[in-house]
């Protein structure tokens, strides 16, 4: 399958929100290399504690403390170093700190649900947070989003940009979620599911989940137009 066939289509009618927002006219294909210019490196500041979503308030948030870690790689398997990783998520009760979220579950005064970090020289990122709750949405009758953490990454070149969601292993809601199911193949959907990581789990403190991310690299071989 080509890179594009592994991605969700813009129009996926089971996800009602796509119906009036997906472009209908064909996207214009540019020759290889037109989106290979550099991505922004640090579009915003990152401080030392921004990776720890459990330490942004006077008290600790309610919920199951977890470590979420992994590597950011390009499609050639090379680590993407020094790139910003931004995350946001619901609290343990399945409620976002967002005025538009009207789910009648409690807000947590000790949890904002946003974090960021920079990858290290081997492409590693690491967040400390709490496991987000599932929450209902109005896409169809009795629709519930599986627990997930939103991720935003830039990578090295403009075409590396990725916004996606990380899911948790064994979540029974994944099979009926049109957002996850919009990915055409099972292997592709599986690449959004983290795995329980006993080695990184810290005894008496927090379970760990591991999730590696692979970003698009350059489309054109460098220097192919140079003589």
Partner 1 sequence: MSAPLTPSQTVGPFFGVGLPFEKGEQVGPAGAAGSIRIEGQVLDGHGDPVPDALLEVWQPDEGGQYQTVVNSTATGFGRCRTDAEGAFNFVTVKPGPSRAPDGHAQAPHLNVTVFARGLLRHLVTRMYFPDEPGANAADPVLKLVEPARRSTLMARDDGEVLRFDIHLQGERETVFFVI
Active site residue 209: no
- Shortest distance (Å) from residue 217 CB to partner 1: 8
Active site residue 150: yes
Strands 124-130 and 65-74: antiparallel
Active site residue 148: yes
Between residues 56 and 201, which has the closer beta carbon with respect to partner 1?
Answer: 56
Between residues 86 and 206, which has the closer beta carbon with respect to partner 1?
Answer: 86
Strand-pair partners of 135: 145
Query: Catalytic pick from 116, 145, 216, 218?
Result: 145
Between residues 55 and 205, which has the closer beta carbon with respect to partner 1?
Answer: 55
Active site residue 125: no
Between residues 179 and 206, which has the closer beta carbon with respect to partner 1?
Answer: 179
Active site residue 96: yes
* Listed residue (125, 123, 118, 137) closest to 45, CA to CA: 118
Report d(CA 174, CA 191) in Å as an integer.
13
Query: Catalytic pick from 15, 135, 167, 209?
Result: 135
Query: Catalytic pick from 116, 148, 189, 216?
Result: 148
Report d(CA 115, CA 121) in Å as an integer.
20
Report d(CA 167, CA 162) in Å as an integer.
16
CB 92 within 8 A of CB 130: yes
Report d(CA 82, CA 62) in Å as an integer.
31
- Shortest distance (Å) from residue 55 CB to partner 1: 16
Query: Catalytic pick from 12, 15, 96, 209?
Result: 96
Q: What residues act catalytically?
A: 96, 135, 145, 148, 150
């Amino acid at each position: 399958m080509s890179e594009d066939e592994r991605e969700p289509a813009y129009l996926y009618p089971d996800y009602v929100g796509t119906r009036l927002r997906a472009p209908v006219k064909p996207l214009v294909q540019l020759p290889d290399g037109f989106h290979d210019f550099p991505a922004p490196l640090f579009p915003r500041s990152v401080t030392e504690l921004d990776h720890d979503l459990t330490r942004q308030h006077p008290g600790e948030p309610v919920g199951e403390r977890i470590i979420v870690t992994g590597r950011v790689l390009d499609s050639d398997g090379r680590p993407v170093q020094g790139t910003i990783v931004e995350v946001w998520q619901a609290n343990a009760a399945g409620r976002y700190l967002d005025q538009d979220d009207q789910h009648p579950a409690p807000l947590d005064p000790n949890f904002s649900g946003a974090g960021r970090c920079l990858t290290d020289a081997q492409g590693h990122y690491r967040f400390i947070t709490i496991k987000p709750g599932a929450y209902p949405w109005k896409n169809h009758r009795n629709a519930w989003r599986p627990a997930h953490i939103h991720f935003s990454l830039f990578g090295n070149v403009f075409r590396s940009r990725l916004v996606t969601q990380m899911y948790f292993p064994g979540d029974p809601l994944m099979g009926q979620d049109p957002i996850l199911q919009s990915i055409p193949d099972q292997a592709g959907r599986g690449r959004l599911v983290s795995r329980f990581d006993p080695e990184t789990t810290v005894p008496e403190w927090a379970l760990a989940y591991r999730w590696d991310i692979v970003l698009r690299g350059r489309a054109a071989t460098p220097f192919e137009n140079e003589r």
